[in-house]
Chains A and B, each alone.
Chain A
Amino acid sequence: MEECRHEDLIDDYLFNRLNHEKKQEFEEHLFNCPHCFEQVQQKTELISVIKDHADSIFKDMRITEKTKNPVQQKIIGFLSPKPLISAAVTAALVLIVVFGILPHKANKTQEFILNNDTVRGSSITLISKAVPSEFRWEAIGKDVEYKVSVYNDELIWEKSTTKNSISLPDEIKSRMTPGKSYFWQVKAFSPQGRLITESSKVQFTWQKKDHP
């Protein structure tokens, strides 16, 4: 197999771990290197199969993740009944914004079912709505992984967490332009890696503080 010095970057590219310049550089390379493009396609297929068949592939494995720290569990326990109700209420508002994206049963969904199918029907409520140094949202249940994305024209940052808040790394902050508008969004994934639900995209303006 012919090796290419860009090959190491493929997984970082697929998992959105490259910064803007690196990503662009790598994409340009993909347009010029059929070998790497083939790798990208193969890896994409491999990852899709792994995610789609995770239950059977990993069934005999002990995949017990480290239990969450007690404080966090308490928060989730405390929040879990409430967000479901408020999610139903806010879902109505969200429908107006993201019309057509969420099906109508959104208003009635009381439970998040973590099965293998994508369940779109409720929304995550974003709590810090403007100028956040930290993004926070309402937790929707246990063992949910949240993926937080920040965009301008393109995706500029993405990170997964099992908590219901996250702060921007300094490296990303330094690349954001004060006064410019950005969007953030949270998506929730089941332990099987399936999209459960997503929040609406909320606009925010970046303001630089000298002493955070």
Chain B
Amino acid sequence: MKKTENSYDLKKITSKYRPIVTYKVKKSIGSHTPEWEDIVNEIMLNTIEKVKSGEFKGQSSIGTFIYTITRRRIIDHIRRKKKKIKKHIPESDPFPDPYVQIENKERAEMLAKKLEELKPKYKKVLYLYYYKGLARKEVAQKLGISPRRVSERVHYAQKLLRKIINK
């Protein structure tokens, strides 16, 4: 990143990295925590300031640079919070996050329908791997197939989702 004085580059940085920063902040402090949005804003502002002031010299990639800022800010948040309520520290949410509504309900319904129609051999893999959260190897063992097969069948389900997204 050379002379990034012009607002175009900064805007680009913001729009490119905001989603991943948001993702990480929510995952770390929980999206039910109302502060998450402020924290994301702070991180983005901080990034822009540092790029503007030349503190970011391109020693690392801009992604890594923003990741470092994000991590520090989250640790800071957790420390502060811990001082306030010692017994109840923030934590990562159960996965998948029950507080987040899937933005596109229609899309979710469509995908569910497609998954319902899958052959049992796919469903079994999805059930053990994603629903029960077993490791790939364990799933392979239980079903007597190779780990590679497990991945293939999982990928197939993801492909269904991509098809719906790209429609």
- The winner among B133, B158, B161, B165 for most chain A CB atoms within 10 A is B133
B130 partner, pick from A50, A98, A151, beta carbons under 8 A: A50
B124 partner, pick from A15, A47, A61, beta carbons under 8 A: A61
A63 close to B87 (CB less than 8 A): no
A40 close to B23 (CB less than 8 A): yes
* Chain A positions 30-88 with a Cβ under 8 Å from a chain B Cβ: 30-34, 37, 40-54, 56-61, 63
- Given the interface pairs A160-B133, A201-B88, the reply to whether A53 lies near B95 with Cβ below 8 Å is no
Bound-complex Cα distance A208 to B120 (A): 48
A28 close to B67 (CB less than 8 A): yes
B116 close to A31 (CB less than 8 A): no
Interchain nearest-CB distance for A162 vs B (Å): 11
- Is B146 an interface position by the 8 A CB rule? no
A49 close to B108 (CB less than 8 A): yes
A47 partner, pick from B96, B107, B112, B162, beta carbons under 8 A: B96
B127 close to A61 (CB less than 8 A): yes
A58 close to B127 (CB less than 8 A): yes
- Given the interface pairs A17-B135, A43-B158, A151-B91, the reply to whether A58 lies near B63 with Cβ below 8 Å is no
B91 close to A155 (CB less than 8 A): yes
* Chain B positions 123-159 with a Cβ under 8 Å from a chain A Cβ: 123-124, 126-127, 129-131, 133, 135-136, 154, 157-158
- Given the interface pairs A28-B67, A31-B67, the reply to whether A52 lies near B89 with Cβ below 8 Å is no
- Is B40 an interface position by the 8 A CB rule? no
Q: How many of chain A's residues touch chain B, expressed as a range?
A: 35 or more
B115 close to A49 (CB less than 8 A): yes
* Chain B positions 85-119 with a Cβ under 8 Å from a chain A Cβ: 86-89, 91-92, 94-96, 98, 100, 102, 107-108, 111-112, 115-116
- Is B59 an interface position by the 8 A CB rule? no
- Is B19 an interface position by the 8 A CB rule? yes
B23 close to A45 (CB less than 8 A): no
- Is A16 an interface position by the 8 A CB rule? yes
- Is B24 an interface position by the 8 A CB rule? yes
| Across-interface contacts of A97 in B (CB, < 8 A) | 87-88
- Is B61 an interface position by the 8 A CB rule? yes
Bound-complex Cα distance A28 to B20 (A): 10
Bound-complex Cα distance A203 to B107 (A): 42
| Across-interface contacts of A47 in B (CB, < 8 A) | 95-96, 130
| Across-interface contacts of B130 in A (CB, < 8 A) | 46-47, 50-51
A15 close to B120 (CB less than 8 A): no
- Is A11 an interface position by the 8 A CB rule? yes
- Is B33 an interface position by the 8 A CB rule? no
B64 close to A28 (CB less than 8 A): yes
B92 partner, pick from A49, A63, A155, beta carbons under 8 A: A155
- Is B56 an interface position by the 8 A CB rule? no
Bound-complex Cα distance A145 to B20 (A): 31
- Is A115 an interface position by the 8 A CB rule? no
Q: List 23 A-B contacts (CB under 8 A).
A: A15-B133, A17-B135, A27-B67, A28-B64, A30-B67, A31-B66, A31-B70, A45-B102, A45-B107, A45-B111, A48-B96, A48-B102, A49-B102, A52-B102, A52-B112, A59-B116, A61-B124, A97-B88, A101-B88, A153-B78, A160-B133, A187-B94, A201-B88
- For the complex with contacts A51-B131, A201-B89, 5 further pairs of A-B residues with Cβ separation under 8 Å are A30-B20, A44-B96, A45-B161, A52-B108, A56-B116
